[in-house]
Amino acid sequence: MRRWATAVAAALALALLVAACGGGGGDEQSAQTVGIEWGEPENPLIPGNTTEQNGGDVIDALFAGLVKYDVDTGQPSNEVADAITTTDNRTFTIRIRPGWTFHDGTPVTSQSFVDSWNWTAAGPNAAGAQSFMEKIDGYDEVSPEVPTAPTMRGLRVVDPQTFTVTLEQPFTIFPLTLGYSAYYPMPQRFFTDRAGYEAAPVGNGEFRFESRTPNQNLVLVRNDQYAGSVKPQVQRLDFRVYSELQTSYDDVLSGNLDHVRQVPPAALTGDRWRTDLGAGAHQKEGLVTDSLGVPLYDPRFANPLVRQAISMSIDRQTITQQIFGGVYRPATGYATSAADGYVPNQCGELCTFDPQRARQLLAQAGGFAGPLTLTANSDGGHDPYMEAVATSIRQTLGIDARYAPVPSFSEQRRLANAQQFTGLFRNGWQGDYPSIETFLTQLYRTGASSNDYGYANPAVDAALSQADQAPTTQAANAGYAAAERTILADMPNIPLWSRPVIYGNSARVAEAEHNPLNRQDTTTYRLNPQG
């Protein structure tokens, strides 16, 4: 017994000693470091292979593109590019500013861009952002699994500071799209030493790679050679992996972390997050929309009146108010107000809650046969609002509408790819660049990559093509808005609401902003003076 007691006492003493030593430390370095809530990226940190948020956030800090989006308005302005000129909206001449270097000291040249884009487009590389190159002339020869050409003929290096891009079709708003991470330049190092690059990525942006521990954190350090006009101010960024959003939020409140890129739903109710975070609570218009896709391959949905009736039976105002504390905005069209070319109230009465008219439309269409299921993946926190939408439809139209979740996002995507939905399905969309076009082409063109509804309308295809080729951006935007109205009348996808960009800062942070694309603008990060 006595021996046991001694052992236990010794163990406890040791634990306490270790605990005592564990405190303190850090100090100087951590005072200059901004801790950011983060998650493991799904792919190695290669711009052309990253389409999700976690990898994208780090890549945006590591790289600078031809074009940069304004932190408040999302308006594009040239960054690495000196000038992007065109006469026919098909061939673009891009001149880049001198003085830009990668973190390893090599210069950023026109070749860096051309090599990067060719790599992303090439089929054997299986890059995630491959489809972003599809408008460039010669993509079709480079993109198959066995390419018939090594590089795209639409890309031509004129001199180290100039290159030209020729597209297959004119695309007026092309320069605006160039701020997307898939268009970032890649250093020579990536092509000669891929494994070395993946272990320590090299970019041309405001922060340099310092270290990474998988599943724990990733540290970036300020790039003092950064050639952009707005210099980064904080010394270090520490992207910390969290498995629960609530924990990271608590950490910001108690000062262990400086920045959360989102706010847990529980804190949104009753606007609690504004009281919790005070001046650190931020909200601005973004490019994310939620909608309900309609499986047009199911004959029960063939009549547009049925789709319109369902849309008018959803009480968007009440649902956004009660479930999202009024933070989300009821949709009045497919695009959001942060997008260039946005026209308010495109949907008109079709997105307005009108029980009487909804019932009338449904009766006119001859009613709806059988139960109406609404599907979403239950691992994404969609359950509360999907239940509410189903209830709204059921109460208004008097049909058996119910929410039928599937377990995972991958199961949801499997059903979408196989066209096996038997009812409405949740559709979340994050725009890639701040233009109305990002909400239309990939979703509603016949056979487009995210056209999960099986929607095909030759008039829409023609209108979109015409807008792509319009002489000016204004004309293009007008064309897109007209196409949007045509699609809304067909209602292949029922708009619900737009999600604003929401993020929170700790009391230590003076400024840390996201742009409307919900990407962190790390040059804005500043800490309050110590005191």
**Applying CB under 8 A, which residues contact other proteins?**
1, 8, 11-12, 14-16, 18-23, 40-44, 51-52, 123-128, 130-131, 144-145, 198, 213-217, 240-244, 247-248, 250-251, 253-254, 256-257, 379, 408-414, 417-418, 427-429, 449-450
| CB nearer to other proteins: pick between 199 and 363 | 199
Q: How near is the Cβ of 169 to other proteins at its closest, in Å?
A: 21
Q: How near is the Cβ of 239 to other proteins at its closest, in Å?
A: 12
Closest listed residue to residue 164, CA positions, set 92, 76, 90, 265? 92
Amino acid type, 315: D
How far is residue 425's CA from residue 416's CA, in Å, rounded to a whole number? 9
Q: How near is the Cβ of 401 to other proteins at its closest, in Å?
A: 24
Please calculate the CA angle 183-53-423 and round it to the nearest 5 degrees. 110
| CB nearer to other proteins: pick between 82 and 141 | 141
Q: How near is the Cβ of 98 to other proteins at its closest, in Å?
A: 35
How many C-beta neighbours within 10 Å does residue 174 have? 18
Helix (H, G, I), strand (E, B) or coil at 291: strand
How far is residue 198's CA from residue 202's CA, in Å, rounded to a whole number? 9
User: Which DSSP letter does residue 376 get?
Assistant: -
- Write the secondary structure of 117-183 as one string of H (helix), E (strand) and C (coil): HHHHHCHHHCCCCHHHHCCECCHHHHCCCCCCCCCCCCEEEEECCEEEEEECCCCCCHHHHCCCHHH
Find where tokens 């009487």 sit: 356
Q: How near is the Cβ of 389 to other proteins at its closest, in Å?
A: 20
| CB nearer to other proteins: pick between 215 and 356 | 215
Q: At what angle do helices 383-397 and 304-312 cross, to 10 degrees?
A: 110
Q: How near is the Cβ of 374 to other proteins at its closest, in Å?
A: 18
| CB nearer to other proteins: pick between 20 and 369 | 20
| CB nearer to other proteins: pick between 163 and 334 | 334
| CB nearer to other proteins: pick between 40 and 271 | 40
CB 84 within 8 A of CB 175: yes
How far is residue 55's CA from residue 38's CA, in Å, rounded to a whole number? 9
Q: How near is the Cβ of 125 to other proteins at its closest, in Å?
A: 7
Amino acid type, 348: G
How far is residue 485's CA from residue 491's CA, in Å, rounded to a whole number? 10
| CB nearer to other proteins: pick between 51 and 118 | 51
Rg (CA), the chain: 25
Q: How near is the Cβ of 32 to other proteins at its closest, in Å?
A: 17
| CB nearer to other proteins: pick between 127 and 502 | 127
How far is residue 127's CA from residue 149's CA, in Å, rounded to a whole number? 17
